[in-house]
Structure 1
Amino acid sequence: MPVLASHRKPRAKVRTATPAVGLTTAALASVTLLSTQSATAAPAEPKPAVEEVQKKVDALYRQAGSATQEYNRAKAASAAQQTKVDTLLSDVAKRAEKINEARRALGAYAAAQYRSGGIAPTATFFLADDPQGYFDQNQLMSRVTERQQKAVVDFRTQQASAAKKRAEAVKSLETLTETQATLAASKKDVQTKLTEARSLLSRLTAEEKARLAELERKKEAEAKEKAEKLARKQAAEAKQRAEAEEKAREEAAKESGGGTGAGSGTGTGTDSGTGAGSGYAAKAEKVLAFARAQIGKPYVWGASGPSSYDCSGLTQSAWREAGVDLPRTTWDQVKVGTRVATSDLQPGDLVFFYDDISHVGIYKGDGMMIHAPKPGANVREESIYYMPIYGSVRPA
């Protein structure tokens, strides 16, 4: 029997997905390309120049100085308010005791009246064995009634006074709470500014730190040069004043027919006509002696001695040595005494800096001052031109 040929169609060959590896490679390449493009699109921020860092750090220190003065003001106010609150609370306690005394007196009178039964005066007269005794007793009761009335008045007076003092104490406590909140906020502000400044400085390389130190030296040298120029100007003006005074004395002596002699001069020196033995010069000498003794001690914000100082803490402590009580902050110290021009500065005068009056130093003469500069630095002598001058005052 013949074998019939199969009419089945031959199987079509199934193509396998062999390009899978190629596609994966292409995908990886695309991801890599996109990643590279993303990195290129968002480059890292360029590192600031040392000059920019210096400006930023100086600004942060200045802001911290202003926050320090706010802290000092709040701290002083808090101490004063705490004293006031303590006094008021003590007063309230004393008045409460007086109220209790008045209440006890009223209670005694009430008990006596209860024991007497509250009999009407007419009935008491008719029931009395001795009419004269009644009149004597009635007069006594009249005086007792007056004392009762006085006791009532005293009680009401003490009660009203205690209520008033209690209200004052509550109000003072609320003010104290607000001031303490300001104190805490100022403290946090100072710490934040200083932390940011330290962070900026810590990121500098050794080379950048050296560059920053060089910028500081240049700034100090320029400030010192200005101080020397002021010193020469003040010396020349003092010499002119001395010559003018000597000439005036000679002319006065000729007119009177006498002689002045070699030792007749007053000798103003560089003290702008006040005289070395004047009251202000004597006080200034004590101020500067104290300030010099603090040189080398560290700046600590909020400190007023004896181991560390901030700028206004140093000036306050120094002038206290001369018997002058200055306020705690630069903002209040600038309002004390007499304003003077920079060219008329005398030793002992206070020099204030920046538009926000956040720094102060003690003028020592020759364009130089003693001050507590900033965190990380010690009390030192420096040119008054190291910072922009706001103005100067003569405290006494």
Structure 2
Amino acid sequence: MAAHRKHRKPRLNPFRGPAARTAGSLALAGAATAGALGGTGHAEPARTPAQIKAQVDQVYREAEAATEKYNGATEQIARTRESLERLRDEAARRTERLNSARNALGSIATAQYRSGGMDPSVRLGLSSDPDSFLRRASIAERAGERQAAQVAEVRRELTEIERVRTEAGQRMADLADRRDELARHKATVRQKLNTAERLLRRLTAEQRAAYASGGETARPAAAPSVPAPNARAAQAVAYAHGALGKPYVWGATGPDAYDCSGLTQAAWRAAGVSLPRTSYTQISAGQRVSRSALAPGDLVFFYSGISHVGLYIGGGRMIHAPRPGAPVRIAPIDEMPFAGAARPA
């Protein structure tokens, strides 16, 4: 019996070692899967329509902030491309001048070769007409000065061409960075908009329609009681009225669709004033004005990140492009956190 017990294999504990870890992992994965499929996991708490609308508002604000960054990256790409074109033109001009300087230098070198490069004192001693030789020597000296000038010109153009190439290389790197940035902001905008769509699908058709209207109006309103401070402001307001009812499309600047800063930029462009592309740069365009001094045509900005802008039309109202699914419309400026105002010149 003792010998038999001596050779008996020890009993393995199935809850120790790698087998136990594998079983535990499978159990956790199963629990997670069950939760994802709505089994024994905890379901997401139901939200009221008001909570869903508040969450959609937040997602749209985040999407608009990303849209303005997308617009900024687009503007920077355009400026970088223009800079690259100028550098390419400069490089072409300098290359042409370099070739001309090299040709002139080559002509001088050829003339020297043909003269034999003889020492001047030797040629003077062998010359039968010293006066004529001295005149030719004076001409040769001036040719030497021209050669030195041509050499200096070649060196200068080579240095400048290298500078232009270096700067162009930096601009190309900047362009690549801006394109990467553009792609990131574009992906963020799409992700936010998709999230908003998923949230809105939880509402009934009637609730979605009520959310889309938002208590605002896309119908033309009566002219503001406060007159515009100048003809250009009046023209910008008239343009904004003409855009009422047109859809919001992120990145759009008209004439068929707009985002918020695209609308204000287009309105003031129609009045002959060039504004920057984004809301956070438009606030620095023109004269800053207080809320109490607002006049039709002023730009009104909202949220701490200056992520939304509208065009003030008087009476505490503005025309703005609110968000996807909501067309250009008239709204009170009190409906969003006011961040500042500017009056374009």
Considering the TM-score relative to the shorter chain, is it more than 0.5? yes
| Greater mean alpha carbon deviation, residues 303-312 or residues 167-176 | 167-176
Match of 1:51 in 2: 50
- Residue 283 of structure 1 deviates from its aligned partner by 2.2
Q: What is the percentage of aligned positions where both structures have the same residue?
A: 42
Contact 2:236 2:271 in 1 (8 A): yes
- What one-letter code is carried by the residue in structure 1 that aligns with 2:206? A
Cα distance in 1 for partners of 2:123, 2:231 equals: 85
Cα distance in 1 for partners of 2:161, 2:206 equals: 68
Cα distance in 1 for partners of 2:305, 2:291 equals: 18
- What one-letter code is carried by the residue in structure 2 that aligns with 1:86? E
Distance of aligned partners of 1:215 and 1:314 in 2 relative to their CA distance in 1, 3 Å threshold? closer
Cα distance in 1 for partners of 2:76, 2:210 equals: 42
Q: Secondary structure at the match of 2:318?
A: strand
- After superposition, residues 110-125 of structure 1 pair within 5 angstroms as 110-125=109-124
- Residue 205 of structure 1 deviates from its aligned partner by 5.1
- What one-letter code is carried by the residue in structure 1 that aligns with 2:49? V
Match of 2:249 in 1: 300
Match of 1:383 in 2: 332
Match of 2:25 in 1: none
What residue ranges of structure 1 are gaps of 5+ in the alignment? Answer: 1-34, 224-268
Distance of aligned partners of 1:144 and 1:281 in 2 relative to their CA distance in 1, 3 Å threshold? closer
- Residue 392 of structure 1 deviates from its aligned partner by 2.0
- What one-letter code is carried by the residue in structure 2 that aligns with 1:309? Y
- What one-letter code is carried by the residue in structure 2 that aligns with 1:350? L
Paired residue total: 305
1:210 aligns with one of 202, 206, 212? 206
Tell me the TM-score normalised to structure 1 length: 0.71
- Residue 146 of structure 1 deviates from its aligned partner by 1.3
- Residue 270 of structure 1 deviates from its aligned partner by 5.5
Distance of aligned partners of 1:137 and 1:214 in 2 relative to their CA distance in 1, 3 Å threshold? closer
Cα distance in 1 for partners of 2:299, 2:342 equals: 5
- What one-letter code is carried by the residue in structure 2 that aligns with 1:324? V
Q: Secondary structure at the match of 2:118?
A: coil
- Residue 216 of structure 1 deviates from its aligned partner by 6.8
Contact 1:319 1:326 in 2 (8 A): yes
1:341 aligns with one of 283, 290, 311? 290
1:311 aligns with one of 256, 260, 271? 260
Match of 2:81 in 1: 82
- After superposition, residues 193-208 of structure 1 pair within 5 angstroms as 193-202=192-201, 204=202, 206=204
Cα distance in 1 for partners of 2:78, 2:242 equals: 28
Distance of aligned partners of 1:215 and 1:76 in 2 relative to their CA distance in 1, 3 Å threshold? closer
Q: Secondary structure at the match of 1:220?
A: coil
| Greater mean alpha carbon deviation, residues 308-317 or residues 382-391 | 382-391
- What one-letter code is carried by the residue in structure 2 that aligns with 1:210? E
Contact 1:290 1:321 in 2 (8 A): yes
Tell me the TM-score normalised to structure 2 length: 0.81
Contact 1:299 1:379 in 2 (8 A): yes
C-alpha offsets along residues 248-276 of structure 1, whole Å, 9 cap, x if unaligned? xxxxxxxxxxxxxxxxxxxxx954xxxx5
Distance of aligned partners of 1:364 and 1:382 in 2 relative to their CA distance in 1, 3 Å threshold? same
- Residue 210 of structure 1 deviates from its aligned partner by 2.7
- Residue 391 of structure 1 deviates from its aligned partner by 2.1
Cα distance in 2 for partners of 1:311, 1:211 equals: 24
What residue ranges of structure 2 are gaps of 5+ in the alignment? Answer: 1-30, 218-223
- Residue 321 of structure 1 deviates from its aligned partner by 2.3
Cα distance in 2 for partners of 1:385, 1:216 equals: 18
Match of 1:132 in 2: 131
Which has the greater radius of gyration? 1
Is 1:284–2:233 an aligned residue pair?
A: yes
- Residue 214 of structure 1 deviates from its aligned partner by 4.7
Contact 1:50 1:212 in 2 (8 A): no
Quote the RMSD (CA, aligned, Å).
Answer: 2.4
Cα distance in 2 for partners of 1:142, 1:281 equals: 70
- What one-letter code is carried by the residue in structure 1 that aligns with 2:114? R
